[in-house]
Structure 1
Amino acid sequence: MRQRNDAMDQVATALLLPALSSISARAEMAPLARRLEGRLRCVTADWPGFGDRARGRPQLKPDTMRAFLEGLLAETGPPPVIGIAAGHAATYLVEAAGRHPGLFHRLALVAPTWRGPLPTMLGDARQAWRGRVRRAIELPAVGELLYRANVGRPMLAKMMRAHVYADPGNVTEAVIQAKRAITRHRDARFGTAAFVSGGLDPVGSREAFLKLFERELPPTLMLRPEGAPRRSAAEMDALAQTGRVSTVRVPGALAAHEEYPDEVAAAIQAFLDQASVAEAGAGPDPATGPAGPPAPA
């Protein structure tokens, strides 16, 4: 489950969590990890029910994701100094940081979300219908056909150009085929059904989402993509307006970390550098230095 880019022992650990979606896997964090590994040892993992391998059928609900993250934090080795997460994973990360004050020194949230695609489109209406959609996709035979119809190449390309990548020119055939391979793993439909229907939403309202940031948290950076979909962007902007996070706009859409890793990495590095300057009088910050040489490719 875990993939590491190991450097010298004195390099601080960063935990990178991929988004939850039909086309998400830990590999999406690799471009960002390569740009950070000169100063951070990067650890990442696939969420239960997601990723680029056969997944089995775990019981997919928010508590499953929380328990998985607790286990990942326990076995990472040295506590991660910075947590970096995208999409729904960002909200699960903030929850974990709130449960464990002092564990992280910094958080970086890339296009944080808390509400799945169907709840985003429909609001609070038709909750029973969303449950029926999930159960239908989980059905033997028929569910597999429904799933395949919605992750075929035309639908996948349309989805990526609509809200995953900002520049349609970056949705190349190679990218489409790589994402399509993720959707074709055995039991992939169960994670998709849970996520799309809202079954993995960590909270149930904007108010509950914002309340997570009222707890004792480390300094937190939100990377707000310029091309984020309108409804998702509204939730990010509501968070920015609380003043509880530092907000930096970056190019891209919901997968800004994958489409524009240079810009996202630069924003994270600047965030760490600013913290280093601010805390210079308080002694070395393990999140900012000193760093060892880059990890082997």
Structure 2
Amino acid sequence: MSRSTPTPAIGGAVGEYHWNWKKKSVTIAYEVMGEGKPILLLPALSSVSTRAEMRGIAERLAERYQVVAIDWLGFGESSRPFLNYTPAVYRSLLRDFVRSMFSEPVVVIAAGHSAGYVMDLTRQPNPPWSWVALVSPTWRGPLPTAFGEHRWFYKLLKVIVRLPLIGQFLYFLNTLPPFLALMYRRHVYGNGKNVTWNLIRQKWRTTQRWGARHASAAFVTGTLDPVKNRSEFMDYFQPLPPVPVLMAIGEQTPPKSRAEMEVLAHFTAVQVYRMPGSLGLHEEYPEELIEGILPFLNKYLS
């Protein structure tokens, strides 16, 4: 089945980045908006991941800067091939995309699991970032977070979901609109009143794209976790990273995810901005997020 041409999701100009992974050619959808010094926006990895969730902050930043937002491989309007989705894929993709798109270190605003991939690149020689903002950073997938480290079972589950019939059925159940609404109210949005049926319909449409279940299953089962444990995640921040790092924490973040963020806040040198919201605070409260990070952003882009 052919892939449709990407359409504007944040109100900018749509582009396609062609990339190869182990001799497989894929296409990454991205969007450019505004003029000025560039800022890269990375959406959170999730079953409903799309650059559209960055629209609110993109619109505000584009008044002064140029913003570039992407859809991760396997999500949104990017290619969703049947392949073994692993952290190595996303590390390589991010590194190559940044090298191709930007001629000098760039500001990056990364949500959720994107944080680990961004921080991994800060440890490489000549990191591609000039300043890093991590929004509700996570490193552990939904199932390991909720039920513990039963990796053998999650690997089996990922294999099952990739099967043609039973896998598609399980994915169908996991992406029913009522279930998506429940997850949004419990984990993604801080205020349940902001979870409208129009929002859920948009998210559901994202999950129904051809091949969407493969990368989604990898994320949910923890296969895309950038590290294996908290200690490895802390290593990204100790000793002090070579570029400034700010972390935004939502006051309604689920307890287990909040605990991991508080460890970073108390035992590393990252700057912390606390605000309303949960794991999807960048989508729910874009104005409050921009108000908090803009003073730091202007300092490093002035």
Same fold (TM over 0.5): yes
Contact persistence 1:223–1:248 (CA under 8 A): yes
Q: Note if 1:163 corresponds to 2:187.
A: yes
CA contact (8 A) 2:237 2:268 kept: no
Match in the other structure for 2:147: 122
1:99 CA displacement = 1.2
Partner of 1:153: 177
Report how far residue 122 of structure 1 moved: 2.1
Q: After TM superposition, what 4+ stretches of structure 1 lie above 6 angstroms from structure 2?
A: none
Q: How many residues align?
A: 273
Correspondence list, 1:22-101, <5 A: 22-52=47-77, 55-101=80-126
Match of 2:33 in 1: 5
Alpha carbons 1:104, 1:218 under 8 Å: kept: yes
Deviations 1:215-249 (A, max 9, x none): 53311100001111111001100000123200010
What's the offset of the Cα at 1:71? Answer: 1.3
Task: Verify the 8 A CA contact 1:108 1:221 in the aligned structure 2.
Answer: yes
Deviation per CA, 1:192-236: give whole Å up to 9, x if none: 110011100000010100011125331110000111111100110
- Say if 1:56 and 1:186, in contact at 8 Å, map to a contact too: no
- Matching residue of 1:233: 258
Q: Which stretch shifts more, 136-145 or 52-61? A: 52-61
**Structure 2 length-normalised TM:** 0.87
SS in 1 for 2:41: strand
1:292 aligns with none
- Structure 1 pair 53/96, CA: closer, same or farther in 2 (3 Å)? closer
Identify if the C-alpha distance between structure 1 residues 54 and 99 changes in structure 2 by more than 3 Å, giving closer, same or farther: closer
Map of 1:288 onto structure 2: 301
Which residue is equivalent to 1:284?
none
What is the deviation of 1:54? Answer: 5.5
CA distance in 2: counterparts of 1:236 and 1:18, whole angstroms: 18
**8 Å contact from structure 1 (residues 54, 186) kept in 2:** no
1:137-148 to structure 2, matched below 5 A, reads 137-148=161-172
Partner of 1:268: 293
Residue in 1 that maps onto 2:19: none
**Aligned-pair distance for 1:98?**
1.8
Aligned partner of 1:3: which letter? E
Q: Which moved more, 1:233-242 or 1:39-48?
A: 39-48
Would the alpha carbon gap of residues 245 and 63 (structure 1) be closer, same or farther in structure 2, given more than 3 Å must change? same
Find the aligned partners of 2:242 and 2:68 in 1 and give their Cα distance.
21
Q: 2:201 aligns with which of 163, 177, 201?
A: 177
Residue of structure 1 equivalent to 2:275:
250
- What is the CA distance between 1:79 and its match in structure 2? 2.9
**8 A contact 2:72–2:78 mirrored in 1:** no
Q: In 2 relative to 1, CA 105–203 (structure 1 residues): closer, same or farther, beyond 3 Å?
A: same
The residue type paired with residue 12 of structure 1 is K
Q: 1:170 to 1:80 in 2, by over 3 A?
A: farther
Q: Confirm or deny that 1:19 pairs with 2:44.
A: yes
Q: Which of structures 1 and 2 has the larger relative contact order (alpha carbons within 8 angstroms, sep 6+)?
A: 1
Structure 2 residue ranges without an equivalent (≥5): 1-28
Q: Contact (CA 8 Å) 1:15, 1:80: kept in 2 or not?
A: no
Unaligned runs of 5+ in 1: 277-286, 290-297
Percent identity over the alignment?
A: 40
Distance 2:283 2:243 in 1: 25
Structure with bigger helix share is 1
Helix, strand or coil for the counterpart of 1:39? Answer: coil
What letter corresponds to residue 301 of structure 2 in structure 1?
Answer: T
- Partner amino acid, structure 1, of 2:161: I
TM-score, scaled to structure 1:
0.88
Rounded to whole Å, the distance in 2 between the matches of 1:261 and 1:174 is 18
> Aligned Cα RMSD in Å?
1.4
- The answer for the alignment partner of 2:128 in structure 1 is 103
Q: Which residue number corresponds to residue 23 of structure 2?
A: none
* Equivalent residue number for residue 243 of structure 2: 218
